[in-house]
Amino acid sequence: MTGVQDITSTSKSAAAIDKARAEGRAALIGYLPAGFPSVEDTIAAGIALAENGADLIEIGIPYSDPVMDGQVIQAATTEALAKGFSVRQVFDVVAGITSKTDAAVLVMTYWNPVIRMGVDEFSRRLSEAGGAGLITPDLIPDEAADWMEASDKYGLDRVFLVAPSSSPERMRRTVDASRGFVYAVSIMGVTGARSSVSSAAKDVVAAAKVAGAERVCVGLGVSTASHVREIAEYADGVIVGTALVAAIRDGGVDAVAALTKDLRTGLNKEVA
Amino acid sequence: MVRLMVDAPTAGSDKDAVDAFLQGGPSLRHAPGPYFGSYGGRWMPESLIAALDELEDTFEKAKADPEFIAQIADLNKNYSGRPSLLTEAKRFSAHAGGVRVFLKREDLNHTGSHKINNVLGQALLAKRMGKTRVIAETGAGQHGVASATAAALLGLECVVYMGAEDCRRQALNVARMELLGATVIPVTNGSQTLKDAINEALRDWVANVGNTHYLLGTAAGAHPFPALVRYFHEVIGEEARAQILDQAGRLPDAVCACIGGGSNAIGIFHGFLDDPSVRIYGFEAGGDGVDTGRHAATITLGKPGVLHGARSYLMQDDDGQTIESHSISAGLDYPGVGPEHSYLADIGRVSYEPITDSEAMDAFRLLCRTEGIIPAIESAHALAGAIKVGQRLAAEDGDASSKIVLVNLSGRGDKDVATAAEWFDLLDKDSAEAEIGKEGEQL
């Protein structure tokens, strides 16, 4: 792919969200950290996510200093690193899932591992593996010049985060820089299951829409089908992370399949 | 040793900057950030950007507010005990090639180190922002103690994150913080050291940013922290420059400081950045030696990357994962470094060199025995560097006594007595202190 074609029309994330929208529902997005408990398990669990109703999949790169992650994801990624996970294996995971499913597969990564490999090289390999793009929890558009260029060159989605604390000006700037969708952080905090979804989430989605976002997905603290149902009322996609990580930790791939199936019921009109 | 300009994408433009400086170009002082050459910036979650904007705005207004300037001046004088002395180390000088060595006595400040300068300033900013709670990270406990002190003085709630391993090694500093009313939270994630304490403090900040200020302890992190922390430490360099002109009648030939994150160093360097005749040296922790892999020589051996909000030199592996650092000095045991130092290294204005544990401890004992001053082990790295610099200056010019080396003695060594006693084998093998020392604990 090159930067000269109409990139919006080639956004894999946008296509996956639009397909769900055409079915009259929000998209379900599931997160798994690569290499936990093994690379093979991540691929199998990713396939199980897609086969049981996830429209998009986020694969996280384990990192030594995950400042936006709570205890469950920290423990998982620390274990993956201790077992020798290396960053290039994320491309095996992405290719392993995209070769078997139609789900859009994004990589979620802290930025230093991308810088170390080289932003262009990382992007090229992600594109070759069939990846849809990157979600970047510690990269804001202000620092993303290299990534803007590489993502255009390789036709990758740029999913930046917006938060309850984002000013209207920053909302606009972040929405403008994003492609595929905008990731709305539901709460001021880090990843981890919570008993209820913050009311701030709805306001963040509304603010992102006012700023021009076409697709806004909500993450952080979403762990049950009833959370999914609640968020699907106002967002274009619902992101579940920690609950899936706990599932693979405690029950392996089968537990991921079962939880995904359950979460997906939150999007079924007849049950609502 | 001046580091090679490898892996620095803007080395060309940085070199232009230093050429311009040497030809009387723009000042290197008061660099405002967010960028120092290609370093610095804000590599942070969006959730924290509003808080960083608020801090920057509050800081810029405070700097222009005579009332704030007066508050800082009053606390510096009547609480910290500034100006700190400048002491000529006449007997120590004989071991540094015979050059004259002057010590900037930050060890004499209240709480025993330069750290108090920054915490008072930031705690005042927290009050101006209407925040009621401060959080801090600490390695050995020095910044934690200083933060707890400022919080007690100004009536703020204080929570200090400290690696569980460091809590065990520094049980008495934990007690000090608790005496001062702070809550100490042991961090059991990752490597359980300073960098993990910073990670945990950042997680707290994201969740509590409405009422909480993150009182970062060094001149690193996301903008505006590097410029802000430097601002509160600039007093070190300003005082030292005036004092050396007064006592010696001229500027020093060299200025030496130790570097972990680099706050004491940037404070004293700042006073001399625009004096081309003054050579400036930063001494990193060489640990067991830079060829052993067990060190904290970030600029000497690291590569540029992003950690804790800034682009800077970083100890990292080929995957960009942070490598654990090692040093006998907990205050220098950090795998990153402030971004302004990375810039000053690339443009060649400051030379950064490693000092091993062994070299630092020799200098530690030497200062004890020649001057009656027990330095912090951190500061002993600067002293060991000053010995090398003095010997080089003496070799360049036979008249060593006409040369002057200024050392920032950033802290006192009371906290390091058990470590030093163990290192020099001063303890009775059966004593309780020896048992504690074996576990690396400090009294």
What are the tens digits of pLDDT across the range A46-80? 999 999 999 999 999 999 999 999 999 999 999 99
Structure confidence at residue B8 (pLDDT): 39
Q: Domains in chain B, ordered, with CATH? A: 11-37+81-112+233-412 (3.40.50.1100), 45-79+115-214 (3.40.50.1100)
B78-88, pLDDT tens digit by residue? 999 999 999 99
The residue annotated as part of the active site, out of A55, A58, A230, A236, is A58
pLDDT given at position B22: 60
Tokens representing residue A238 in the block: 């619902």
What is the reported pLDDT for B437?
A: 57
Among candidate residues B96, B1, B85, the one with its CA nearest the CA of residue B362: B96
Q: Is A6 exposed, middle or buried (0-12, 13-18, 19+ CB in 10 A)?
A: exposed
pLDDT digits (tens, 9 = 90+) for A128-185: 999 999 999 999 999 999 999 999 999 999 999 999 999 999 999 999 999 999 999 9
Cite the active site residues of B: 115, 137, 410
Domains and CATH numbers, chain A: 8-266 (3.20.20.70)
The tokens of A150 are what? 């590489």
Q: What is the ipTM of this complex?
A: 0.94
Tokens representing A241? 């992370």
Name the H helices within chain A: 12-22, 39-51, 71-82, 89-98, 112-117, 119-128, 145-154, 168-177, 200-210, 225-232, 242-265
Q: Is the CB of B206 inside 8 Å of chain A's CB atoms?
A: yes
Report which of residues B169 and B363 the model is more confident about: B363
CB–CB contact A143 B43 (8 Å): yes
The mean pLDDT value for A5-12 works out to: 66
Task: Give the pLDDT score at A268.
Answer: 82
CB–CB of B202 and A70 under 8 A?
no
Indicate yes or no: CB of B47 within 8 angstroms of CB of A161.
yes
| pLDDT value of residue B12 | 43
CB contact under 8 A, B50 and A167: yes
At B192, is the pLDDT very low, low, confident or very high (cuts 50, 70, 90)? confident
Taking residues B414-430, report their average pLDDT.
88
Residues contacting A104, CB < 8 A, separation 6+ = A12, A13, A15, A16, A55, A56, A57, A132
CA distance B426 to B388: 27
B43 in reach of chain A (CB within 8 A): yes
- pLDDT tier for residue A121 given thresholds of 50, 70 and 90: very high
pLDDT tier, B434 (very low <50, low <70, confident <90, very high otherwise): low
Task: Return the closest-CA partner of residue A208 out of A182, A239, A177, A178.
Answer: A182
Nearest to A116 among B42, B206, B319 (CB): B319
What pLDDT score was predicted for residue A172? 98
Lookup: tokens for B100? 């004259």
Q: How far is A212 from chain B (nearest CA, A)?
A: 18
Which of B49, B199, B303 is the closest to A140 by Cβ? B49
Chain B CB contacts of A87 below 8 Å: 319-320
User: Which two structure tokens, joined as six digits, stand for A248?
Assistant: 């693979």
**Does residue B319 sit at the A interface (CB-CB below 8 Å)?**
yes
More confident residue, B432 or B426: B426
pLDDT > 90? residue B1: no
**B404-409 vs B100-105, strand pairing mode:** parallel
CA distances to A61, A102, A188, A219, A252 from A239, in Å: 17, 18, 16, 5, 20
Tell me the count of A-B CB pairs closer than 8 A: 113
Say which residues have a Cβ less than 8 Å from residue A84's Cβ, sequence separation at least 6.
none
Q: Give the ranges where B209-336 is alpha helix by DSSP (H).
A: 225-248, 263-270, 298-301
Q: Which residue has the tokens 């400081």?
A: B257
Does the beta carbon of A207 lie under 8 angstroms from any beta carbon of chain B?
A: no
Region of A238 please: left (phi>0), alpha (psi -120 to 50) or beta.
beta
Per-residue confidence (pLDDT) for residue B15, from 0 to 100: 59
Sign, CA torsion A44/A47/A53/A59: positive
Mean pLDDT of the B255-275 span: 98
Q: Of B13, B60, B12, whose CA–CA distance to B34 is shortest? A: B60
Can you tell me the mean pLDDT for A112-122?
A: 98
Distance CA A121, CA B306 (A): 18
Q: Is the pTM of this model over 0.80?
A: yes
